[in-house]
Amino acid sequence: MSNPIPISVALGDGIGPEVTRATLQILAAADARIAPEEVELGERVYRRGISSGVDPAAWESIRRTRVLLKGPLTTPQGGGFKSVNVTLRKALGLFANVRPAVSYSPFVSTLHPKLDVIVVRENEEDLYAGIEHRQTDEVMQCLKLISRPGCERIVRYAFALARAHGRRKVTCMTKDNIMKMTDGLFSSVFREVARDYPDLATEHMIIDIGAARLADTPERFDVIVTLNLYGDILSDIAAQLTGSVGLAGSANIGSQAALFEAIHGSAPDIAGRGIANPSGMILSAVMMLSHIGQPDIATAIHNAWLCALEDGCHTADIHRQAAVGRPLRTDEFAAAIIDRLGQAPQALRKAVYHAESSGSVAAAAQYERPAPLHKALVGVDLFVHFRGGPGGLSPRVQRLANDRLKLSMITNRGVKVWPDGLPETFCTDHYRCRFQASTPTGDIQQNDIIELLQRMQHEGLDFIKAETLCTFDGVPGYALGQGQ
């Protein structure tokens, strides 16, 4: 028999220790060939004054084992605390978040008995970059960063996963009608990569109607690939539609490491009562076993779990009055699964795992940076903190223009307020002043911007930031103002 594989295990916060311990009991009973090492993450680490929530010993273990089975962690709201979940995903390069949701009707009540969808969520970018600033008294900013490697890696991964799992369709969801550059990059990469997978049907949906359709007719979806924030929301919707958020597991996959966790949080409202559903954590552990090359154990645990559902073993979150008997406690539910190891479900589809091919990760993780584009500096957006209306600001900003940079517009929260603004437009204390090259060649030097900033300082205007306007191979790398 092969040596047990070391894995790092974090019990987590709230219901985390309850569902993780139940899962570890099942893994032990199923003779999983693993050597768990407990690491501390989350609340207890924050309380020791480590604001990242991850202590050095945990990093050492995780970087050595390269596999982490993690209970949910509480992210303290506000304050100086960063989410450990986001830190781990980004620091370990876990670019793909895979979240299957399946209905188990009639054994778990759901309005959508045919739901069987995998949400593949980009895991490192988007608004989760956590780059936020207060810019004025009235305005906060959160940067949405979307990169070509980020889009290519997740989209390629989703297609490879769809093919490997015998799926038929990949749906991309974005808001590229509004965010034409960021979400637009994601959907254009999707169309490019789709050409390499003619065997799979593809479609693109705007996220709002896509989410509505998912809630209404989830059976029309197969694999969904989307950006980080949308994927977070969609996967919770999909899991809840199957009966409970407590039912879904997830894998966070990178080329160097992988993290497995339930999709639900630490559920402080029921923590310590011994009633949490450990299914999400159990199915995450099943995904982990498949990942580390133990598909036999993964198959056995998943089928025992299905048998338990068929036999009416339910935790409180999925227990219905029509069901037989009382809801089971977390440890009783784990015991019911252990009792059924070696059995196969009668009505639900039997689970069969094969050794996970790492090919799709390897292929997706390889990003070849193309030759650089020709970049030309053609202007600058200067953001200004100003308490008055646009009528007070525009003459002062116009005075800053010269024969190299002319003022082309002023916007407030993206809406043009000069020239020809509407009096109805509500203005905050946060303006953007767009200067564009007035030179015959259409381009300028960085020094022109530095001099412009100096003139702005002499004018007594409080600038917040300068965002350069560039073209790339002649294509503008900036959006127009609303109403421009």
- Name the residue nearer to ligand NAD (CB basis): 85 or 202: 85
Residues 292-331 that bind ligand NAD (CB under 6 A): 317
Of the residues 183, 232, 381, 448, only one is catalytic, namely: 232
Q: What does the alpha-carbon distance between residue 350 and residue 99 come to, in Å, rounded to a whole number?
A: 19
Asked if residue 276 binds ligand NAD (CB under 6 A), the reply is yes
153-187 burial: b if 16+ Cβ within 10 Å, else e: bbbbbbbbbbbeeebeebbbbbbbeebeebbbbbb
Q: What does the alpha-carbon distance between residue 183 and residue 180 come to, in Å, rounded to a whole number?
A: 6
Asked if residue 228 binds ligand NAD (CB under 6 A), the reply is no
Decide if 57 contacts 92 (C-beta within 8 A). no
The distance of closest approach from Cβ of residue 20 to ligand NAD in the complex, given in angstroms and rounded to an integer, is 11
Among this protein's residues, is 232 annotated catalytic? yes
Asked if residue 27 binds ligand NAD (CB under 6 A), the reply is no
Asked if residue 119 binds ligand NAD (CB under 6 A), the reply is no
Of the residues 208, 216, 462, 473, only one is catalytic, namely: 208
- Please identify which residue in the block is written with the tokens 């990569």: 193
Residue of this chain nearest to ligand NAD (CB atom): 265
Q: What does the alpha-carbon distance between residue 65 and residue 71 come to, in Å, rounded to a whole number?
A: 17
The distance of closest approach from Cβ of residue 267 to ligand NAD in the complex, given in angstroms and rounded to an integer, is 4
Asked if residue 249 binds ligand NAD (CB under 6 A), the reply is no
Strand partners for 462: 385
The distance of closest approach from Cβ of residue 48 to ligand NAD in the complex, given in angstroms and rounded to an integer, is 18
Selected from 245, 351, 456, 464, the binder of ligand NAD by CB under 6 A is: 245
Q: Using CB under 6 A as the criterion, what x/- string covers residues 68-107 for binding ligand NAD?
A: ----xxxx---------x----------------------
Total of chain residues touching ligand NAD, rule CB under 6 A = 21
Binding range to ligand NAD, per CB under 6 A, among 45-53, 263-271, 283-291, 345-353:
263-271
Binding range to ligand NAD, per CB under 6 A, among 145-153, 207-215, 268-276, 469-477:
268-276
Helix (H, G, I), strand (E, B) or coil at 220: helix
Backbone dihedral angles phi then psi of residue 126, each to the nearest 5 degrees: 70, -155
| Token couple for 475 | 């294509």
Asked if residue 53 binds ligand NAD (CB under 6 A), the reply is no
Q: Which of 31, 32, 35, 164 is nearest to 96 (CA)?
A: 164
Would you tell me how many other CB atoms lie within 10 Å of the CB of residue 358?
Answer: 14
Among this protein's residues, is 208 annotated catalytic? yes
- Please identify which residue in the block is written with the tokens 């007035």: 438
Decide if 258 contacts 66 (C-beta within 8 A). yes
Strand partners for 54: 41
Q: What residues are labeled active site?
A: 128, 175, 208, 232, 236
What residues make contact with ligand NAD under the rule CB under 6 A? 15, 19, 72-75, 85, 245-246, 261, 264-270, 276-277, 280, 317
